[in-house]
Amino acid sequence: MSEVSAAVALSLPERRAAALRKGKTDDTSRTRRRRKRDEEVLNAAAKVFSERGYSDASVQDVADELGILKGSLYHYIRTKEDLLFWLLEEVHRDVEEILDEIAEMDGVNPLEQLDLYVRRQVVYNLENLKRISIYYQDLDRLSEPRRKHIIERRAEHDRFITSLISDAQAQGLANPDLDPRLLSNCLFATIIWTYRWYKPRGRASREAVADVCAKFARAGIGGAPAIEATSAS
């Protein structure tokens, strides 16, 4: 285990998450109940942090939301920061599944992969607005080793998208005169900012927003003709 991993792997849920990432799963009824309870804790923390703000929220607030004694919550965590870190880790576990599935696709060109990535990430963000808002508003409230750990996990997505853009340029599917790294930053801005303005009961569905974002991203890297082909199909 690296020094960073050793520094951040503190709470019981974090150890479970690490085991899950390594494929060490146990599908017993006891394990399923435990996972359900873990999810309930996460949902309560997300609700409380979203409504009160992480700084003003307390472990007692989360316990009250769950309807349990504060002491019972310490079975899962050691500090309030554990809850925040656990939430951000779970977000990354989910979005890394998206990345892995798209990266492993056969017979799909890089522009199509990019399109699918944007669509699925936007839909995920809009389905998990509370967690995503906490992610981007409170990341810097983590202790430095944990913050660095999360940023390093995020860098995997930066490298993946930059590589897709470079491949698309090499294959004549995108404008070769544009900087792939800058384009990657612009693409992530398109994905991320949706959590600030999207209204679940607004006129646009999650899928409609994702569609516009994907087309916008493709046009931005010089792949506009591919948009027209997709729309016509």
Rounded Cα–Cα distance for residues 142 and 150 (Å): 9
- Exposure of 137 by Cβ count < 10 A (0-12 exposed, 13-18 middle, 19+ buried)? middle
Q: What's the token pair of residue 24? A: 């060490």
Average pLDDT of span 92-103: 96
> What global pTM score does this model have?
0.83
Q: Taking 80 as the threshold, does the pLDDT of residue 17 lie above it?
A: no
Residue 141 near residue 84 (C-beta atoms within 8 A)? yes
* Average pLDDT across the chain, whole number: 87
Q: How far is residue 85 from each of residues 17, 26, 89, 123, 140, measured CA to CA in Å?
A: 12, 23, 6, 22, 11
Q: Taking 70 as the threshold, does the pLDDT of residue 10 lie above it?
A: no
pLDDT for res 99: 97
- Domains observed in the chain: 3-232 (1.10.357.10)
Q: Taking 50 as the threshold, does the pLDDT of residue 9 lie above it?
A: no
pLDDT tens, residue by residue, 112-157: 999 999 999 999 999 999 999 999 999 999 999 999 999 999 999 9
pLDDT tens, residue by residue, 181-223: 999 999 999 999 999 999 999 999 999 999 999 999 999 998 6
Q: What share of the chain is helix, strand, coil (3-state, %, to 5)?
A: 75, 0, 25
